[in-house]
Each structure stands twice: as C-alpha cells, then as structure tokens.
Structure 1
Amino acid sequence: MNNSHVPAPGSTPVASPPSSPASSFTPLARRVAEMGLMRRRYGYYWTRLATAPLLVAAWAVVFVRVGDSWWQLCSAVVLAVLMTQIAFLGHDAAHRQIFRSGRWNDWTSLFVANLLVGISYGWWQRKHTRHHAGPNKVGTDPDIEPGVLAFVPVAASRHAWLRWLRAHQGWYFVPLLLLEGLSLHWEGIRRVTSRAPVDRRWVELTLLSLRLGGLLALVLVVLPPAKAVAFLAVQVGLFGLYLGSAFAPNHIGMPLVSPTLKLDFLRRQVLMSRNIRGGWLTSVLMGGLDRQVEHHLFPSMARPHLRRAQPFVIAHCDELGVPYTQVGFWTGYRDVIRHLNVVGLEGRDVFLCPLVAQRRALTDVPRG
C-alpha cells in the first residue's frame, strides 16, 4: 500500500500525468464496475433505514422514563452519537448510494436529514454538490470560503489581535466544532424561511419543525429549565463536534487549487483528499468518510464497497504516479491544525503556488 502524508509547508508532491489526462480515470472506473463494486447494497441500507427510527423511538422512551435527573446528560451524549450516525446515512442517500431511483434517494434524504436529524437536505445537497465538483478549489468549494476561520491565505489584518487569532486559529478549531451542530440547524431554518426559491419548501419546513420543535417540547416537558438547557447544550455541542470531526480531516490541509488551474477528474479528486487509516471500527465511527479518496472518485458507491475498491485505487494511482494520501487520525488532525495556523500567518501561501507551479511544469500549460 502506498501511504503518503500531507507535504510539509512549501513542499511539492510529485505527479506524472498520463499521456491522455482526460482518460486517466476510465480504466479504474471500468475495473471497479467489472468487480461489481457499483451495485446496490439494499440489505445493508434497508436494515439501517429501518433501525434508525426505532433507535430514536427507543431513546425517547428511555428519556421519558429516566425523567428529571442529571443522568439525562448521558442521554444527551447518546442522542448526539445517534444523530451523527443517522446523518451519515442521510449523506449516503444524498449521494444516490442507496437506491437506483433518484426520487427514492431524495425522499429518503428528506426523511433522514430533516425529520430525524434536523438539517435541511436541500441546503446541504446544494453546498455539498459544489464541494464535490471542485474540492479545495478557491472560488468553487464552499467548504473553504472565509468565515470565522481562514482556510485559504488571506490578506494580513491591520489589527494585531486579529493577526494573532488567525496565526493560532488551528488551536481553537476543535472547540469551534462544538457550535457546528447549532450552525447546521440554523442554516436549515434560514434556508427554508428565506425568500429565495426552495424546492419542496413546505415539506422541508414541516419536517424540520416536527424534528426541532418536537425535541424541544419533549425536553421542556420532562426536564426543568436548567437541566433542559444543559441537555440541549451537550447534545447539540457533541453532535457538531462528532460530525465536524469526521469531515474535517478529509480535505483541510490538502493542496489548494487556483481558480485558473485545470486538472483532470482523477487528480482533482485524489490530490485534494485524505484518507484516514484504520480498521472497521474507524470506518463505522466516521460513517465511511475515512475512505475519502474512494468516495470522491465514486460518490454513488455504496459505503461497504469503498474498502474493497481501495486496493484498485491505490494501484492505479501508483501506476500514474499520483500521490495517494492516507494517514492516521491524529496525524490527520495534526496536519489540519498546522495548516490552519500557517494559513493564518499574514496570508502565507502554503500549498497553492507549489501545486500550480508543479502542474504547469508537468503539462506545459501557460498561465490562465
């Protein structure tokens, strides 16, 4: 297995493009299809779709029976883990991994994301589709747009305190994930109540209202105000931390792509993605996102098949000389924190220029 790490700041990975970059993905796609790895896994997903609402119902029964007790904070932890695992299932449906019918996948995502988790499926799908079209591409990938954190080099601020915060932003990245759950719920509400055109607005609004309002009502009926606030803070905070922790190592710290840089599909997905090394438990905990390279190459591939596809992807990348990045979980987070801190140092360009220069040298493409 060809395991590589994220290059140190300023370093450049070596990649040799094939004679026909446009067709570099075709042999791999053909091999994967011949192995039957694009077939549906109905038993796997039907089991999880049937189990998800039953687990939520069982949790609610236990929550009511426990009643007014500080032990409900343990119940909040359980619900946070359960919501994250169900969110992974919604992610699979949104990628058309479960059914052949796009309509079936859409309604499954609406049911899972809006009604069970409390996230707007329409908002997430639009955002995530743009991410898959251009991972880590400046101006295309919404996941690296500037906000509380700077994921790409930015101009130096005139304020010393802001420069200090940006230079150390990697260290408060993980604590900020505690707010991710609240942000996801809020973005869903804001989308369905906005004046912008929204597909299935009333369906999404109804399902979100049932989920968010229903949980809030249940908590306020069972618990007194102080315990209710503590319960919601723990549940929403840990939900965001868990979900964000599963997504964060996938691309943060991998090469950034200039808006003018042209890459073939295989390189656009592989060079910008990072796998997390581990066994079946890692895969379960991360909802299959530990094999991010394979997921980006084959987004509609059923989650259980990603592991089987991995050896073929590695061999194909080795043959083409395309770096394939796979690291341990803690190494991945070390690289995430390092990248965020370095990017925050007065707009230092860490990965963008080396990748652009490398690609131009290899393909002899003039400046765009």
Structure 2
Amino acid sequence: MAVTLPAPPVPTVPRREESVRGGSDFTPLARRVRASGLLERRPGYYARAIGLNVVATVAVWGAVAWAGDGWWTVLLGVPLAVIAVRTAFLGHDAGHRQIARTARGNRLLGLLLGNLLLGMGHGWWSDKHNRHHANPNHVGKDPDVGEGILAWTEEQAGRQRGVLRWVARHQARLFFPLLTLEGVNLKVGSLMFLRGRSRRDQVVEGGLLLAHAVGYLSLAFALLPVGQALALIALQHAVFGVHLGAVFAPNHKGMAMPEPGERWDHLRRQVLTSRNVRGGVVTDWAFGGLNYQIEHHLFPSVPRCNLRRVRPLVRAHCAEVGVPYAETGVVGSYRLALGHMREVGEPLR
C-alpha cells in the first residue's frame, strides 16, 4: 500500500535556540487535546472490554473441554492466543494508567491481567516499556533497540558473533519465525526481572506468576492427553508471540534513531521515531489501538478508544509546526520495518 507521508529522515542535531523553541511546540497541542475531553478515562469501555475478554477466555477453555480428546482440539490454541493478546493490550493500558483513576487501581489490574491471566510480569513490562516511551528508538536508552538476538543498527550487527552473526545477516526473513518464541521469552524475562526486586515484589508478582502456571498447566493436562496438551500450549505460545510481535514491529522499526548526545524536544522525540498504521475498525482491533502509535506516544494515558479521535488533532498540529507525520498501510508498515532490518544486516552478506 502507498505511504501517505514518507518516513522522515533522521533530523540534524537541533541548535540550542531550536530546542528551546521546539520545546513549546507540544504545549498548544496538549491544550487542544485536553480541551477536547479525550484525556478523560472511559471506565464503561474498559469494563466491557475486560468482561468480554474474561468471558471469551472461559468460553474457549470450555470448548476445549467439550471437544475433548482429539488433535483437532489443539487448534483451539489459536483463539486462545488471540484472546491472550487482547489481555496483553488491556494490561498495557493499565500500565499506562488509562483504565483506573488511581495508580494503585491500575497496578492491581496490571497484576491480575498480566501476572495472573497471562503469566507475564506487570512490573517487568512496566519498567521496560516506560524506558522505551521515555527515549523511543534511542540506542543505549530504549531497551527495544538494545543488544540482543536481532540487530537494529549496523554497529550492533557488526558486533554479533557466531550463530548470532548469521541471524543478523538473515534477520529480515527470520523475524516472524523467531517471533514464535517470543511468548516464552516474555515469561522468562518476567521471572528474571524478579531476581533483583524487593521481597514484597517477589512474593506478590512471583506468587501470581506461579498461580498462573499451576492453573494453566493443570487445565491443559486435565482436559487433554499429554501430547495434545503440549501441542496446544506450544501452538498458543507461538501464535501469541507472532501476533504480539506483529503489532509492535511496525511502530518504530525503520524510523529515525537519535544519535548519541542528540537532544530532541518531546514532540519530535515521539513523532519522528514513530509510525502510524492506517486502517479501519479491523486494524484498530487487531493492533489494540497501537496502530495510532504517534498519538499513543504523545499521550500515553489517553484511553485507546480515544486515539482515533486524537489523530486529526495531532496531524494538523504536526503540519502546522513542520514536523513530518509518518503513516502507512498495514502491508507498507511491514515492508518498511523488514526493509530496515535487511539494510542493517546487508554489510554482513
């Protein structure tokens, strides 16, 4: 699909007077969004979303019990994964304090949705994701572009050795296959994070993660023979990882990456590093509202159901102050993200 506006080039380092002037560019936009009422929480929307999510989860497990012993039952791992991604979206929203009015209420929701229902640590995710929001696409500050299995810069790719160097060379074509392991990786990361936390966090978060593991495995192995239970678990985690990774991949990959020492104001730091994915109701549902990535980064506490209405305000303001606003279709977003990964690995081929 055609790109509405081209991805912006990496801006030059702003001069001091430009940074000071640019620092005020966000204020008029913030006033307009606040005056529109779109910052207000939507408790009714989230009550329905959480209720439907719980009902859907119970219904699919009920279908597993009803279908009984049979390899076709394993395919119910797919809707279980899709529903689990919806749970992850709700946990994400709680982490940004979009749902409840108090920090305590949002933390409680995050623990129940993340740790208990998903087996993914709310504390670990919040720490990692908040650092990403503070400095998106900034190597050394954003954990989402840190050193790992995949390389996000040519410098990172050049430092890879052994198998990881081969992976970096072919990472564009390996990206989606590797995502099948992301569901397990998220759970392992949640457990590793707890090692350095307080005793209270270890007891609360660790206890909920343990309750999830016991409940999930007991349910799977009580309803299905061992082989089918393992297959269902593997399928659910694989589809979950691909689905969740496919949602987050187009948002920043291939966008501007600030150089070390560069200091951008809030508006440019969030807009120039983010990309929206254009689409309708289906896209909004599949991406959990995160296809409005620019608006989400500028106003992370805005309820996801309001992001579509914030978009025209942000587009108009970016045009007014001369800040490029990147938006493309679903296919185009993956083409750009995978193209960036291919370019990073190119020098190794």
| TM-score between both structures, scaled by the size of structure 1 | 0.88
Letter in 2 for 1:151: W
Count of aligned pairs between the two proteins: 343
Letter in 2 for 1:134: N
What's 2:202 paired with? 201
Please list, as runs of the form range in 1=range in 2, the aligned pairs for 1:42-81 lying within 5 A after superposition.
42-81=43-82
Aligned with residue 184 of structure 1, among 186, 201, 208: 186
Shift of 1:198: 6.1
- Please tell me whether residue 23 in structure 1 is matched to residue 24 in structure 2: yes
In structure 2, stretches of 5+ residues that fail to align are none
What's 1:237 paired with? 238
Deviation larger for 320-329 or 51-60: 51-60
1:174-227 deviations in Å (ceiling 9; x for gaps): 1111110010111112223x1443653212112111212211121112222221
What's 1:280 paired with? 281
1:60-93 deviations in Å (ceiling 9; x for gaps): 2221121111122221001000000111011111
SS of equivalent residue, structure 2 residue 346 = coil
1:112-162 deviations in Å (ceiling 9; x for gaps): 111111100000000000000000011100000011110122263697976
Shift of 1:346: 3.5
Contact 1:14 1:321 in 2 (8 A): no
Deviation larger for 65-74 or 248-257: 65-74
What's 1:150 paired with? 151
Q: 2 CA distance for matches of 1:274 and 1:98?
A: 24
Change (3 A) 1:304 1:120: same
Please list, as runs of the form range in 1=range in 2, the aligned pairs for 1:1-368 lying within 5 A after superposition.
3-6=4-7, 20-154=21-155, 156=158, 165-192=167-194, 194-197=195-198, 200-346=201-347
Change (3 A) 1:216 1:101: same
Larger helix share, 1 or 2:
2
SS of equivalent residue, structure 2 residue 347 = coil
Letter in 1 for 2:52: T
Q: 1 CA distance for matches of 2:147 and 2:160?
A: 17
Shift of 1:52: 2.4
Deviation larger for 272-281 or 222-231: 222-231
1:26-67 deviations in Å (ceiling 9; x for gaps): 000000111111111111011122222222222222211211
Change (3 A) 1:142 1:195: closer
What's 1:365 paired with? none
Q: 2 CA distance for matches of 1:105 and 1:161?
A: 41
Letter in 1 for 2:4: N
Q: 1 CA distance for matches of 2:19 and 2:147?
A: 35
In structure 1, stretches of 5+ residues that fail to align are 349-368
Contact 2:13 2:262 in 1 (8 A): no
Contact 1:153 1:344 in 2 (8 A): yes
Contact 1:273 1:325 in 2 (8 A): yes
Q: 2 CA distance for matches of 1:158 and 1:265?
A: 33
Deviation larger for 170-179 or 209-218: 209-218
Contact 2:139 2:257 in 1 (8 A): yes
Letter in 1 for 2:175: F
| TM-score between both structures, scaled by the size of structure 2 | 0.92
Q: 2 CA distance for matches of 1:107 and 1:97?
A: 13
